[in-house]
Amino acid sequence: MATPFTIDFLDHVALRVKDLQVSTRWYEKVMGLTPYHVPEWGEYPIFLLAGKTGVALFPASSEDSTLPAATKGPGIDHFAFQVSNENFEKSKAWFSEQEIPYQVRDHHHFLSVYLQDPDGHTVELTTLVGKAADFYKN
């Protein structure tokens, strides 16, 4: 089925990890990814990028009551597709039209839509607010 919006590329996969420092070093040294930290986001996520795609590391915490039970331990938290600003707006209209529940979050440099797939996996569509060169400085 065709949708009124187009996905550009897989932006990131968010991983819940036991030790942020150990995992950061592993993705940096073993996979050659470049650590990227956005001060406005706080201590985490820690992004490790290859160009404009990569992984986002979050601590695995069974104590965090805001997390769904399935994402409290180590594992995949969510995955994100990047879309243009225009397609971001089209996706929201499409989800509303299809009566698909979603949430919008402002991440300073990005706006994101979050929704659940049929198995409960969190899917994110994200769009850059501003210029790509301002965020992808590496």
| Structural domains of the chain ordered from first start | 7-60+73-122 (3.10.180.10)
Q: How many CB atoms lie within 10 A of CB 133?
A: 7
Question: What's this model's pTM, rounded to 2 decimal places?
Answer: 0.63
- Give the Cα separation of 107 and 129 in Å (integer): 9
For 82, the enclosing helix (H) or strand (E) is: strand 75-83
Nearest CA among 19, 107, 15, 9 for reference residue 55: 15
Q: Which two tokens stand for residue 35?
A: 């650590």
Share of the chain above pLDDT 90, in %: 26
Who has greater pLDDT, 32 or 120?
Answer: 32
For the segment 27-55, the average pLDDT, to the nearest whole number, is: 86
74-127 residue pLDDT tens: 677 788 888 999 999 999 998 899 898 999 999 888 999 998 876 577 888 899
